[in-house]
Amino acid sequence: MRINLSRKKIRDSFVDKVQELSGQNLLACYQCGKCSAGCPAVMDMDILPNQIIRFAQLGFKDELLASKAIWICASCLTCNARCPKGINIAEVIEALRQILLRNREDHLKVENLSDKEKEDIPPIALICSMRKFTS
Ligand code: SF4
Ligand code: SF4
């Protein structure tokens, strides 16, 4: 993935918004990687949990909001328990989903599923793919 770092991105209101919604201090992360090492969903993620925090620190809004990882996260909270800095990574990921959902951008568009898919997919899987614990 090609990343362009800029002062403008770091100072973007997106960084403040993620901190405000998640209640987390992103700068507390020192990139030890313990969150990613314990994450049970990491093999399916395009951006690892520690990278999500790093990207959020640096204001990489487009990369984060387009990532599969924020929807793959199962909200199991293992990362929160493992972080030596007390950062609740799951809440940061939740904040990213909230930013999208507040713009009415669902990850899964139910109207695009076929009747067969709607029949086959368990309802709880459908709900989880869209909402997790986002209210
Ligand atoms: S809450 Fe999400 S990111 Fe954290 S360990 Fe669980 S699946 Fe991984
Ligand atoms: S465990 Fe905490 S300090 Fe370590 S990389 Fe993850 S968020 Fe950063």
Encode pLDDT of 67-99 as tens digits: 999 989 988 999 999 999 999 999 999 999 999
What spacing in Å lies between the alpha carbon of 78 and ligand 2's midpoint? 12
Note whether residue 126 is domain-resident: no
Can you give the pLDDT at residue 122? 78
The CATH number given to whatever domain includes residue 36 is 1.10.1060.10
Q: Which residues of the chain have pLDDT under 50?
A: 135
Residue 92, CA distances (Å) to 26, 52, 117, 121 in order: 9, 8, 31, 28
The verdict on the CB of residue 31 being under 6 Å from ligand 2 is yes
Assess whether the C-beta atom of 92 lies below 6 angstroms from ligand 2. no
pLDDT value at residue 135: 46
Number of domains forming the structure of the chain: 1
pLDDT digits (tens, 9 = 90+) for 64-73: 999 999 989 9
Q: How far is the CA of 86 from the centre of ligand 2 (A)?
A: 8
Domain extent, residue 23, equals: 7-106
